[in-house]
């Protein structure tokens, strides 16, 4: 690479920096907490019939998260008690590559990851794209386009991480997986 090419590269980077919109971190945190609350509402709707029959209990408690640019803040975690088994749903955060948020569900037999992703996304990482679309340039802070509709998904294990739609059936399968049921 010549000095001229390097200088042109730096000028391009400077233009990109000037044109980039600043991230509203407070808004990002609010959106994340709103989506997290929606996730817990969905889980509660799945579990309430069993709680009402006295077959399980669930409760929320605060955890403190600390993320770069956002700082320290409180978010809810959820504990599901089924007999002697305890399963915890713990938020990880919102500053992730390829996702707008993550919650880990951990039990005695392992962990399942729930990701807040683009509704049409099929794969995580550099391969992520909406079905039928050419790969698009993604927003660096979010890993997603600004207008993309979001949905909670279950992420499969590496190396080829795929997203599974969150439904009552997939949630119960994941729950059974972490308690070795």
What is the reported pLDDT for 14? 85
Asked whether 95 and 102 are in contact (CB, 8 A), the reply is no
Mean pLDDT by 10 residues, the chain (181 residues): 89 80 90 97 98 97 96 97 96 92 96 91 46 37 58 90 93 96 65
Contact 175, 142 (CB under 8 A): no
Q: What is the pLDDT of residue 140?
A: 36
Total residues belonging to the chain: 181
- Write down the pLDDT at residue 127: 36
Q: What is the pLDDT of residue 158?
A: 83
């Amino acid at each position: 690479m010549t000095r001229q090419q390097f200088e042109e590269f730096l000028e391009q980077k400077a233009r990109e920096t000037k044109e980039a919109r600043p991230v509203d971190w407070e808004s990002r945190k609010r959106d994340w907490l709103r989506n997290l609350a929606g996730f817990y509402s969905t889980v509660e709707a799945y579990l309430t019939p069993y709680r009402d029959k006295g077959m399980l209990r669930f409760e929320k408690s605060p955890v403190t998260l600390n993320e770069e640019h956002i700082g320290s803040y409180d978010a809810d975690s959820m504990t599901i008690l089924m007999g002697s088994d305890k399963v915890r749903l713990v938020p990880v955060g919102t500053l992730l590559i390829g996702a707008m948020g993550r919650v880990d569900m951990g039990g005695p037999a392992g962990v399942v990851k729930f990701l807040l992703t683009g509704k049409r996304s099929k794969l995580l990482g550099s391969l992520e794209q909406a079905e039928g679309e050419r790969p698009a340039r993604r927003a660096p802070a979010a890993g997603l386009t600004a207008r993309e509709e979001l949905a909670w998904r279950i992420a499969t294990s590496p190396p080829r991480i795929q997203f599974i739609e969150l439904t009552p059936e997939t949630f119960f399968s994941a729950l059974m997986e972490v308690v070795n049921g």
